[in-house]
A and B are shown apart, each in its own frame.
Chain A
């Protein structure tokens, strides 16, 4: 029997969900809707009586204070619709994760009703007002549903039975006819199987199997393709690159062998910090925290999934990076997250969107919700981030998710032993994320297969939280010897990686499934979320299984590490895979790619001299890349775990933009860490080398700005680039990696982990929009005493304002130029020698308690930094540009005010500390540029002593806040 339950708000109860949707409809330019009502629909199947359903409604599903309900056996009906009211009902597609369904079944059983079989949820929207059919369709597609995961419910033809699964298929082993294939056929096999293997790789596989005198199974081929994929193996970074570049007009060529090792890793080796505990080989880089604890940091990308289904993409992105932390060493406890996004501008005209792309505002809202949902529910504070806008992200937004974890010092090394059992814990396995899975575009029928795709998964944060809770207990009781996460490639990648040393045997039929009917290879490569793989000594496996069972978390022995260095898979006793580990991990042919770099020449900007820069400052403050991101930040719980010391929003009214965030993760201890990010795509348009250098400088100086120490900062690289098979794209990548090397060595800040996501292009008929080559540098700094931390808001009228560091004519790639639609050529450079001196001097000033506030100059330059400090503290400013330490030919106010030169800080110091502070800055360029004022006027005098900015701090703040005040 199937029952349909509808739940709605009682008359007079405010429906914020409905109001939010109405607001989004108005955003689309439709004004005809006066009200939106949302009804929650549950469909229950099982041998339930009307009394059962009554109890379920009353005691579980319905809030007795604010809601009312209606239920009846499910039968076809025509939804109420008239000229004035339009009804539309949206449900998840079968197979798409809906955590509410599982919780509801649990809740029903708690009530003592155990005859419940399945639950489906839907939302019914009543739109009051006049709409054309086309408008309704637009609202459905643009606001209410994403057809990749949801569909419009047709209540006139309801499903006879709730779709659960297709029947179990009988076992049939599939071989792929590879032995005698010619090149053309090899490539066809690669394409048909969506293996993304090139000809050399296909040939290597062919020759491996020819030697064995048999064809591979589909499962073997899939396993190799996954292991050798760009995503898992990083072929571009580890391969050879023939790199050519023009040097004073002549083209030079050099061979780069293993870009990763010759830049990023090399820097870390040369720097040789003894507090680097584990770098590059584990899921995350590990550094020393204090005498008992280490911390680890990883930043991942989840770009493609977020383009298609922003909520699910970001949701599973953060879920994935959290599992990276759970799988580092013997498992770390996640203590904070940082998330960085790149979108097209949210006011992009709908007409200008390439076909098949979602509107950037929708992508942004979805991505933020996805991070909010997963991070908040897992109780991991999202303490820091950045959002960058550029129209080239229109088809391909970038979503970076980073997480930091903490673990006891003796839990940093994995050591799986021969004979250890392979145990999978956490979520069950379904068809989620199996590449090549076909998902129908909204036209689902009752017979629809349970399908979805890697692109459209939704996470279940509470499942992952449950895993975390038990895992930490199991770790502390030494119940396992190694752990890794199931991410891309699923079990294939997790077991393959863990078993590299010993070899592994897995019985695939043992893997717990969400529904019957999965083929052996589907089980093996499924990317279902919230799973981890453990290596467990046979004597400890029962204790481990019991511990997980105690908190209702699935844990199952699926195989063991054998010692024969082979990967052997069985399904119900049939062997479906038998590969040598050595071939799997080392057998791929090295590739050589071509790269070319030529400096682009942008128009040399000619901007008329302006005496009054008031309006320009307001315009720069309102720029998407500068403005307040409070709308986003407040939706994240940035204080859960109780460790946040310097929050993302600071100042007298808790709305100023903090530099780095500081947390003290061992409650009660003063030891802490600071986390920050540097990202600037506009510099990369001119030269990726200086983009990379500037990003490192920015990430580092933000940590210095809150009181960090340059000797204890580690960094992460994260490259998001276009197609590396195109020499111009790859040329930029090589340049950026070189910039990373030089600057990291200069600042003695080791890389401890990194990631690359290539092929970020959106193909559209004959043209391809590549994302601007983007590097994100994330930094983590250890802070000895968090109670000495500094924030960026001005503290007191009469205090002195210093600008430390030198300002050059470096407006290339600046926000100021962007307000004129220009890029320019004079990209900011980094002088690490001078930067190092500045960082050290300021750290020692902080230590001596002299720094009242400090803020780094980044996008928008000195002008923006000063304004932010003023309105965040609620004080005015008098400042003089002629006092700024400036070196350049332009001698223009706009250059000094808006240049984005690196290694610069604005520092507030008490008058009594003037002498000692200036002594500390000996040998460093600085200017005492003005003072903090009690009155709210923000006044800047230009190089020729004339007033060039005269604004009220309220107006500056309003300009900065209004852009993203949604």
Chain B
């Protein structure tokens, strides 16, 4: 495990943002493997050989029944023990879009490992957008919290969302309160100035405009918007109107942060 930061980008039937997620980590200097989940099941690849687990966007198993549910069950039932270890070792996990849905439905986010001693239970969900349809649009996001993933990001970042089931709903007031109190909210939809906004600035009707959250440690991040789609400057939707500021976009910092943390902590 010495030398390079090792990232596993998990894929299965219906994963479709694996290549660009791998590109983002790879461009920041990591060694990235896109691994089919069967390889983990059959023990041909070991989760514990990696520092960072990325669950990319897509429509795993068609999002049949509901988004992320079937992969969430696979993680919980077949890989739960490893994931608990992975998290307690303070390695990093990021779930983007469908990956976020998976983490939430598996109960890994917002996470309450202390209470249930390693078991995962679902305390929030992501459901159909209020608009009733899939939408691809760019959103301003206010960054908050204390996660290693979001250190040093601009106060407001601009990432695209592309989903039909992104409305974040916590189980109850208590869960919501804890998210706020523990600094687990990482991103909120906002307007250009960072103020609270309704549709379409909040593209799905998420409670309290929540777009991304972390677990209590901040090592596990899940978000609906796609930072890997604003990894490069020219992915910005109106870059032709902007003064050029280097090669990278506002999403790159997230991937850099993950890799820097591993370098500091493990290498």
Q: Name A residues whose Cβ lies closer than 8 Å to a Cβ of B.
A: 13-14, 16-17, 19-20, 59-61, 63-66, 99-100, 102-104, 106-107, 110-112, 372, 376-379, 460-462, 465-466, 469, 550-552, 633-642, 644-647, 649-652, 654, 664, 667-668, 786-787, 789-791, 793, 795, 853, 873
Contacts and interface: CB of A to CB of B under 8 A. Distances in A.
8 contacts: A377-B59, A379-B16, A460-B62, A637-B136, A640-B17, A642-B20, A642-B235, A654-B238
Nearest to B20: A642
A550 B133 CA distance: 34
Interface in B108-163: 122-125, 127-138, 160, 162
Given A104-B65, A110-B74, A16 B20 contact: no
B28 interface: no
Given A16-B128, A650-B237, A654-B138, A376 B59 contact: yes
B16 A66 contact: no
B20 A641 contact: yes
A550 B36 contact: yes
B223 to A, nearest CB: 16
Given A16-B129, A63-B127, A377-B63, 11 more contacts: A14-B205, A100-B64, A107-B69, A372-B134, A376-B59, A465-B14, A550-B36, A635-B136, A639-B162, A641-B20, A645-B235
Those 4 A-B pairs whose CB atoms lie nearest each other, nearest first:
A379-B16, A642-B20, A103-B64, A16-B132
Nearest to A23: B132
B163 to A, nearest CB: 9
B38 A550 contact: yes
Contacts of A639: 136, 160, 162, 226, 229, 235
B61 A462 contact: yes
B26 to A, nearest CB: 9
A650 B238 contact: yes
B125 A63 contact: yes
B235 A644 contact: yes
B23 interface: yes
B234 A103 contact: no
B235 A110 contact: no
Contacts of B245: none
Contacts of A790: 240
Which secondary structure dominates chain B's binding surface? mixed
B215 interface: no
Interface residues of B, number: 61
Contacts of A110: 70, 73-74, 77-78
B136 A636 contact: yes
Contact of A638 (B128, B136, B226): B136
Given A462-B13, A462-B61, A651-B238, A60 B73 contact: yes
Contacts of A649: 237
B169 interface: yes
Interface in B63-95: 63-66, 69-70, 73-74, 77-78
Contacts of A20: 132-133
Given A103-B61, A465-B13, A16 B77 contact: no
Nearest to A651: B238
Contact of B122 (A65, A379, A635, A650): A65
A99 B62 contact: yes
A66 B36 contact: no
Contact of B19 (A460, A462, A667, A789): A667
A552 B13 contact: yes
Contact of B58 (A99, A379, A642, A853): A379
Nearest to B11: A469
Nearest to A633: B136
Contact of B231 (A636, A642, A645): A642
Contacts of A379: 15-17, 58
B58 to A, nearest CB: 6
Contacts of B125: 63-66
Interface in B164-193: 169-171
Nearest to A872: B238
